[in-house]
Amino acid sequence: MKKNYTISIPRSQFWTIIVPLALLFIAVGGIGGIVVVDRFIMPRIVGISTRGIMEVPMLVNKQWEDARQELYDIGLRLQISGREYSDSLAKGIVMSQQPEAGETVKRGRHVCVVVSEGSEVAVLPDVRRLTERIARNRLRDEGFNSVVVHTLFDEKVPKDQVIGTEPPHGIRTSRELTISLRVSKGPQPTHATVPNVIGEMLSDAKLAIEENGLAVGRIEYRTSRGSRSGTVVSQSTSPGTSVPLESSIDLVVAADR
C-alpha cells in the first residue's frame, strides 16, 4: 500500500526563515548572473567589449590646461590632486598622472594629475605705488601667497598705496616666505577732531578719545540728576573741534548719589 508523506512547517518559521532564505538565494543568484554576463559573455560579443573603454593619453610634461582639453575631447575628466615645486618643470606643467598613460579606463572617469608650481625660489616683484589689491594679485601671480599687511603713515606715498615689502623687492627668496606688505596711511596728521563722548560710559569715552589721537586728561566725578552713574556728563573741549594731536580732554563723570 502506497504511503503519502507531508512536510509540515509552522507558519512562523515559514515567514521568518524560509522566505528570507529564498530571497537571499534569489539576490545572490542575480548578482552572480550579472557578474558572469559582464565578465564572460559580454566580452565575447563583437562591438560591446570595447564600448566606453578608452586608453589614457600621456599628460606628463604638458600644460595642465591643454591636458584637460585633451581629456575632455575623448570623454575623460582632469582632476588636480596636488601641486608641488619643481626646479626642472615650469609652473602649470603636469608632473605625474594616475592612471598612467596607456591604461584603459571607462568613459567619464577622472584622471588625477600633480601640477608643477615651478621653482620654490623666485624673485620678489616690485609692487611699490600699487594699491593693496593689485599688489596682492601681483605677488600671488609670482607664487607668493602668504602676505600680511601693515599700515603706517608716510609723507611721500599717497594713502592706500604700497610703500614697499619686507623682504625688499628684487631678491630671490622662497615662495613659502610670508611677505610683509607695507601700505601707506598718508601723511601723519598734526590735528585731530574731538569726538562727542557725552552720555558714553567712561571706558568707551576713553577708547574713543585715544583712537582719535588724543589723550584723556583730568577726570572729575559729580552727582548728576538724570544721568546714569559712570557716564560722561561733560567734556572740556566741544565735539567737532580741531585740536593738536595728543591734546588732553578733561571729562566730568556722573557719580552715585
Q: What percent of the chain shows pLDDT beyond 70?
A: 87
Q: Which residues pair with 248 in a beta bridge?
A: 215
Rounded Cα gap, residues 146 and 235, in angstroms: 45
- H or E element, residue 12: helix 11-13
What is the predicted pLDDT for the residue at 10? 67
Rounded Cα gap, residues 129 and 152, in angstroms: 14
Q: Pick the more confident residue, 86 or 23.
A: 86
Q: What is the pLDDT of residues 136-191, one digit of tens each?
A: 999 999 999 999 999 999 999 999 999 999 999 999 999 999 999 999 999 989 99
Residues of the chain with CATH 3.30.10.20: 53-116, 121-184, 191-255
Q: What is the pLDDT of residues 202-220, one digit of tens each?
A: 999 999 999 999 999 999 9
Q: How confident is the model at residue 41 (pLDDT cuts 50, 70, 90)?
A: low
**Lowest mean pLDDT: which of 23-37, 93-107, 116-130?**
23-37
Q: Is the pLDDT of residue 83 over 90?
A: yes
CATH of domain 191-255: 3.30.10.20
121-184 under CATH 3.40.50.1460, yes or no? no
Are 127 and 170 in contact, with CB atoms under 8 Å apart?
no
53-116 under CATH 1.10.150.120, yes or no? no
Q: Against a cut of 0.85, is the pTM above it?
A: no
What is the predicted pLDDT for the residue at 114? 97
57, 65, 68, 113, 163 from 78: Cα distances, Å: 12, 9, 5, 7, 42
Q: Is the pLDDT of residue 113 over 70?
A: yes
Overall average pLDDT of the 235-252 stretch: 96
Are 126 and 163 in contact, with CB atoms under 8 Å apart?
no
Q: Is the pLDDT of residue 4 over 60?
A: no
**Backbone φ and ψ of 117, nearest 5°:** -95, 5
The residue whose grid cell reads 590632486 is 81
Q: Pick the more confident residue, 46 or 211.
A: 211
